[in-house]
Amino acid sequence: MAEQSALSDSEVEVWRAFYSMRRTLDRALDLQLQRDSQVSASEYEILLAINLAPGRQLRVKDIAGTIGWEKSRVSHLIARMEKRDLLTRTECETDARGSWIGLTADGRRAVLGATRGHVAAIRRYFFDVLGDDEAERLKGMAARVVEAIGCAADEDVPARDALAETASAEKPE
């Protein structure tokens, strides 16, 4: 394995600035969602994924794939959101093991209400402080970073899900 070289002082400064911006932006957007719509950023991701899906319903594995989370994490959050009457679960006619997750009337109101404020906050905190040329450069940089990472992160989600399913199947009831 090749030895990793240390970051230069200027690289450390760039990384810290980027990391601080990302964390601060995430927190500001999360607080806006909580304040305006009483949903967390995690709940919003699920609500939005379902709202944008054809037929406005998805299976848990599809939600997990869409938002890049482990299936077990999605399942737990969906259960909590069902209790708050944001989501509904119906049986899948083609697969007795699966179910469809859809929005309730409260869920539709929540995602629509959250989206208005969320888009306004993204504009205010992000796009209003960048020029058009900076936004385009940032888009290119983001694409190169994602490409450099490759699909390694995506490949880990199914592997973790399969491992978790195997472990739970082996547990005595």
- Beta-carbon count within 10 A of 83 CB: 9
Tens digit of each residue's pLDDT, the chain (173 residues): 455 689 999 999 999 999 999 999 999 999 999 998 889 999 999 999 999 998 899 999 999 999 989 999 999 999 999 999 999 998 877 766 778 999 999 999 999 999 999 999 999 999 999 999 999 999 999 999 999 998 665 555 444 444 444 334 433 33
What pLDDT is attached to residue 156? 53
pLDDT for the residue 91: 84
The Cα diameter of the chain in Å comes to 59
Alpha helices in 70-131 (DSSP H): 71-83, 105-125
Contact 102, 118 (CB under 8 A): no
pLDDT value for 151 = 67
Eight-state DSSP code of residue 67: H
CB 104, CB 90: distance < 8 Å = no
| pTM of the full structure | 0.75
What pLDDT shows up at residue 72?
92
Q: Are 46 and 78 in contact (CB under 8 A)?
A: yes
Q: What is the pLDDT of residue 169?
A: 40
- What pLDDT was estimated at residue 52? 94
